[in-house]
Structure 1
Amino acid sequence: MTTDFQHPRFAQAYARASELADQRGAYEHRRRLLAGLEGRVIEVGAGNGRNFAHYPASVTEVVAVEPDDTLRAFAAERARSAPVPVSVVPGHAEALPGSSFDAAVVSLVLCSVPSQGRALAEIVRVLRPGAQLRFYEHVRSANPALGLLQHLIAPAWRRLAAGCHLNRDTLAAIERAGFEVSEVERFGFAPQPLVPAMAHVIGRAVTP
């Protein structure tokens, strides 16, 4: 059921903000995230589908799972012009469709899932052994002062941003789930004007 994941007002704002974020650098982040992928891919929390244009021709199928009705409608529109076959389906990270995927993609979504542990366990379930996880996430800052600030404002931020957590150590959660991280890039990025640069990671991991 996706009824608990409906945030239409936030979804409209996110769709507008993601366009600006891409102009400020996220377009290139998405390209690096998906470069070299092959085979069948499940994208968890596909949002409004801004990753779709970046899937390489070596990808044979993308199953794009998105719980929010508003964002899913935007994603379905983008799927029509994607360079690879993309099916946009309702669902959420703790109840994914299918199995034996060659790769999973999470892009600015593990910040807002109710439980990172349950979501990542479900991703492990639907991947074949040795499959890849590609991740692009904002995370808690390694700077102690900034990390403390994120912690202090996190409750208010969650209410304003549809459950988004500013202070999650997502890389550690990926490793706890049993993934072996093979590559990670850490960097600061301000997706919007007048917003301080937040810590982000782009990386690759493989299932046990």
Structure 2
Amino acid sequence: MSTRNTMLRSMHDVGLAAWFGGSLMGAVGLNGAARDEGGTRAATARIASSGWARWTPVNAAAIAVHLFGSGGLLAVNAPRVAAQQGVAASTLAKSVLTGAALAATAYSRVLGKKIELASSSDPQDAEKAAKHPVDTDRAQRHLAFMQWAVPAVTGGLVILNALHGEQQRPTEQFHGMWERARSLAPHMTSHGHFLH
């Protein structure tokens, strides 16, 4: 009989929800509002950069909470991952997508920081930007792509999370474990028939 892991599941789900929702809102709402209100390219970049900078610590906390919950769930479900056919594959896919989402998020922040420094009216920021010049047009194109990549990839994680929920149904667990046992012992019959 399975035990409850409500805290780990909550951390996993709430962290992922904030990561996905915040990145989607930023790409749609924040960037759109910055374009509408900025007037100039530099002002648009300043507004968007300011908003993303405010979101960064919250996003980092959400990611950390999600990763903690995810790691905890993986640890408690390790026997099922090993024994139930299909769970290891979906877990691997989830791990790959999580890595991609982390990389996209980190790269977005690096690009955003470069644009923030290049568009800043602060003399110290301008001095830092002069020491590390950046092609702002190219950086903004890459950033626009990455800011859409993050909600796309984290949305994929939400879908895989739904699949994991389905795989935890008792009938799915029985079927998956039976199929795993059959693959390890191919002479066994299908679960609808018995050996004579």
Q: What TM-score do you get using the length of structure 1 for normalisation?
A: 0.24
Q: What TM-score do you get using the length of structure 2 for normalisation?
A: 0.25
Higher radius of gyration, 1 or 2: 2
Higher RCO (CA 8 Å, separation ≥ 6 residues): 2
Structure (1/2) with the larger helix percentage: 2
Structure (1/2) with the larger strand percentage: 1
